[in-house]
Amino acid sequence: MDVDRSVTHPPAGAVQRPVARWRNGRVDEHIDCVAEEVPVAVVCNSRHFAVMMATPTDLDDFALGFALSEGLIAVPAELLALHAQTQIEGVELHLTLPPERAAALVRRERSLEGRSGCGICGSRHLEDLLRVPPRVTASPRITGAALDAALAQLADHQSLAAATGATHAAAWADDRGRIHLLREDVGRHNALDKLIGALHRDDRSLDAGFAIVTSRASYEIAMKAASAGIAVLAAISAPTALAISLADSAGLTLIGFARPGGCAVYTHADRYAGQPAELREAPYPAPPARQPGDDA
């Protein structure tokens, strides 16, 4: 089915471009809505730390979430100032950190190149990569009904994905499955960092909710969630072995293959209450066949 994604007013983070679409030997000219992807440099106390490829929306949330999940700061108050500077080449996010935090960064220098929001692509040392976050202390209790409710709402909150078909999302839902916050980005790590920043800016308690990501649960996704104090992370695709190990040691409840009516709980299953008895008797939904490009 050919989907016409042209819109009168593209959402933030999207632009329109002409496209020639071929179907059954015929070509039609269209205006397509496509996601923006620009270099976003993180500069800490005038020192370049990393460059991410990201969607240039919710950058205040991204800066705070990235600083927290990457261990640049321990609490939001340590981000003393933030200034975004748009340049021809992209965007620079200038973060002002306490002197002791800035000094620590010098000892864990990174290269400046990343790919589509992968925060570990620039890591120069193994200890920078395999950081172990503090153990998660929040203890929400999540039911299968709440997870199903949140999954049912995801598409309605993803305006950028609906317009472009090219972005991931990270969402926060309460213990009844109501989505309160959602952030989108071409990079799945960026989307989660934006959500983490939004959670802290909203001063939202992590004791009565959970996060959902529209991607696989890689090591870094699990690490970022645990570093932020998120106790339950549900991914619509599979986790990696390293993500499971990290989640287990950090006290994170890691859920994969989240689908209406079922999921797979890999670690700390005590926080997941499951489905009502009448639903548990139904066949468990098989994971969908993976397609090329999934979780890119």
Tokens of 129: 């990569």
166 & 272 share domain: yes
Question: Is residue 209, in this structure, part of any structural domain at all?
Answer: yes
**112 plus 88 within the same structural domain:** yes
- What pTM, to 2 d.p., does this model score? 0.86
**Closest Cα to residue 194, out of 52, 58, 39?**
58
**Do 120 and 246 reside in the same domain of the chain?**
no
Establish if 218 belongs to a structural domain.
yes
Together in a domain, 204 and 259 = yes
Output the CA–CA distances (angstroms, integers) from residue 158 to 146, 223, 239, in the order listed: 19, 24, 22
Q: Are residues 219 and 160 in the same domain?
A: yes
146 and 275 fall within a common domain: yes
State the CATH number of the domain containing residue 108: 3.10.20.10
Among 75, 95, 129, the domain boundary falls at 129
Tell me the DSSP string of 116-147: TT-TTTT--SHHHHS--PPPP-----EEHHHH
Quick one: 124 and 149 in the same domain? Answer: no
Q: Are residues 159 and 241 in the same domain?
A: yes
Among 33, 44, 118, 121, the one annotated catalytic: 118
Q: Which of 174, 150, 139 lies closest to 260, judged by CA?
A: 150
Q: Per the domain annotation, does 247 fall within a domain? A: yes
Residue 235 · residue 255 · CB < 8 Å:
yes
Domain boundary among 78, 105, 129: 129
Considering the domain architecture, whether residues 156 and 51 belong to the same structural domain is answered as: no
Give the pLDDT confidence score for residue 106 in this predicted structure: 80
- The verdict on 163 and 273 lying in the same domain is yes
Residue 157 has a pLDDT of 97
- CATH number, domain of 268, equals 3.40.140.10
Give the pLDDT score at 17.
95
CA distance 141 to 46: 43
At 262, which helix (H) or strand (E)? strand 262-265
| Catalytic residue flag (residue 44) | no
- Give the pLDDT score at 128: 54
State the residue range of the domain holding 189: 142-280
Domain annotation covers residue 292: no
Task: Decide if 153 is inside a domain.
Answer: yes
In a domain, 274, yes or no: yes
62: DSSP letter: H
pLDDT score at 276: 62
Domains of the chain: total: 2
- How far is 269 from 272, CA to CA, in rounded Å? 5
* Residue reference for tokens 């990174």: 110
Verify that 118 and 211 share a domain, yes or no.
no
Separation between Cα atoms, residue 252 and residue 69, nearest integer Å: 14
Does 29 reside within a domain? no
- Side chain identity, residue 41: A
296 found inside a domain: no
pLDDT (tens, 9 = 90+) of the chain, 296 residues, equals 455 555 578 999 999 999 999 999 999 999 999 999 999 999 999 999 999 999 999 999 999 999 999 999 999 999 999 999 999 889 999 999 999 999 988 876 644 344 444 544 444 444 555 677 889 999 999 999 999 999 999 999 999 999 999 999 999 999 999 999 999 999 999 999 999 999 999 999 999 899 999 999 999 999 999 999 999 999 999 999 999 999 999 999 999 999 999 999 999 999 999 876 544 444 444 445 544 445 54
First to last CA, the chain: 22
Are both 112 and 162 inside the same structural domain?
no
Can you tell me the distance from the alpha carbon of 143 to that of 219, in angstroms, rounded to the nearest whole number? 25
